[in-house]
Amino acid sequence: MLQQTQVERVKEYYRRFLELFPNVGSLANAPWDEVMSAWRGLGYYRRARNMQAAAQKIVTLYEGKFPDNFNELLDLPGFGRYTAAAVASFAFAEDVPAIDTNFHKVMRHVFGFEYWDTLQPLEQFQFASQLVPRGRSSDFNQAMMDLSSSGILDQIDLHVDCPFAGFCQGVEEFMARKQRKLKLREPDGLSFKSFEGVRVAIGVVIQDRKVLISKRRANDSYGGYWEFPGGKARPLEDERSCLKREMMEELGIEVAVRPHFYRTVVERDGMRLLLSFHRCSLLTGEPEAKECDEFLWSAVDELADYQFPPTNYDVIDILKKRPAMLR
């Protein structure tokens, strides 16, 4: 319930849900209409379907006993790597890292942004697994959350009260990022159609003050990461045409495209990329995962719960600083 909904809103739903379905068997055997009725109002109904499907699998394959290890938990519907690791660690003391936004934040500071963010999600999990102290995974994962939320890592002077003082590889880059002002104008001398390199148009689709994000397929660059949807332009294709085509191909929706609000040039795998970000609004169609693993609508203040390619974080900062853009 907390994956996409705020705590205060969840409390009453949670209490009522447990009264209706006090154990895994009652949830597994309940008619879908009853589950739907108890969930109605929380949105993202696929979460409820996954939860009931997980309960049914637990009853069928595990005789009603909840799986107690990461690999079996990961096989349950609706369980991603983080959820499976968190349950395995906190409930069953398995030595696995629960990698969420807080965990990413600490790892970027200790080992450097450029190193950590170039690892694929599975590589990050394997690397972090070596750091978990045997028999103390819950303490370790809780400490990562507490350290990230403490505010220590948000200080310009990271050597004040920082447990990593003296060997943190990300300090210099972090300070540069904190002190850098966002550049919202187009890079000098560049036009989208004549840019010599790879041109990418990206859409920030806004509806009801939420933005649409999609999850990249596992075999793509940054596989498993979330992103604002879009794609590469064809020869002589302009931004608007590119973005309308990509939205239809990737998500099956037609959008209205506004002029870009942010552009940047990045180097990736030896290529120069011009990334052009545009506000968009939904015209027709309902999103479906046609060329991505999944999608969701997220409030801006909840985007920190998802891992994005590095450049997307600049755009998230802009959205936070300019709430009028969400109208």
Q: Would you list the domain boundaries of the chain? A: 7-66, 101-179, 198-326
CA distances (Å), origin 67, targets 2, 94, 134: 21, 12, 20
Percent of the chain with pLDDT over 90: 50
pLDDT in tens, 21-48: 999 999 999 999 999 999 988 877 888 9
Structural domain 198-326, CATH architecture: Alpha-Beta Complex (3.90)
Q: Write down the pLDDT at residue 116.
A: 79
Q: Assign 256 a pLDDT band (cuts: 50, 70, 90).
A: very high
Distant-in-sequence, close-in-space partners of 182: CB < 8 Å, separation ≥ 6: 262, 314, 317, 318, 321
Q: Provide the mean pLDDT of the chain.
A: 85
Determine the pLDDT at residue 297: 94
- Residue 144 to residue 61: CA distance in whole angstroms: 34
Which of 44-48, 140-144, 195-199 is predicted with the least confidence, judged by mean pLDDT? 44-48
Residues 239/233, Cβ–Cβ less than 8 Å: yes
> pLDDT band at 184, cuts 50/70/90?
very low
pLDDT of residue 303: 87
- Strands 226-227, 198-207: pairing is unpaired
Average pLDDT rounded to a whole number, residues 296-303: 90
How far is 296 from 288, CA to CA, in rounded Å?
10
Reply yes or no on whether the pLDDT at 181 is more than 50.
Answer: no
Q: What percent of the chain has pLDDT over 70?
A: 86
Report the pLDDT value the prediction gives residue 159, as an integer from 0 to 100.
52
- Look up the pTM and report it: 0.56
Which one has a higher pLDDT value, 162 or 313? 313
Do residues 215 and 226 lie in contact, with contact meaning Cβ atoms separated by under 8 Å? yes
CB contact at 8 A, 137 and 96: yes
Checking if the pLDDT of 162 tops 80, the result is: no
> Quick one: average pLDDT of 275-297?
92
Same CATH topology for 7-66 and 101-179: the answer is no
The Cα–Cα gap between 267 and 271 comes to 6
Does the pLDDT value for residue 154 go beyond 70? no
The band of 14, judged by pLDDT with boundaries at 50, 70 and 90, is: very high
Buried b (16+ CB within 10 A) or exposed e, 76-85: beebebbbbb
The angle at the Cα of 167, spanning 166 to 171, to the nearest 5 degrees, equals: 85
Q: What is the pLDDT of residue 170?
A: 55
Residues 179-189 have a mean pLDDT of 44
pLDDT average, residue stretch 207-227? 88
- The residue written with tokens 């008619």 in the block is 31
Alpha-carbon radius of gyration of the chain: 22
pLDDT in tens, 98-125: 998 788 888 887 887 667 777 778 888 8
| Average pLDDT estimate for 301-315 | 85
Report which residue type is found at 282.
L
Task: Choose which CATH entry (1.10.10.10, 1.20.1090.10, 1.10.10.60, 1.10.340.30) describes domain 7-66.
Answer: 1.10.340.30
Is the domain spanning 101-179 CATH 3.20.20.70? The answer is no
pLDDT value at 173 more than 70: no
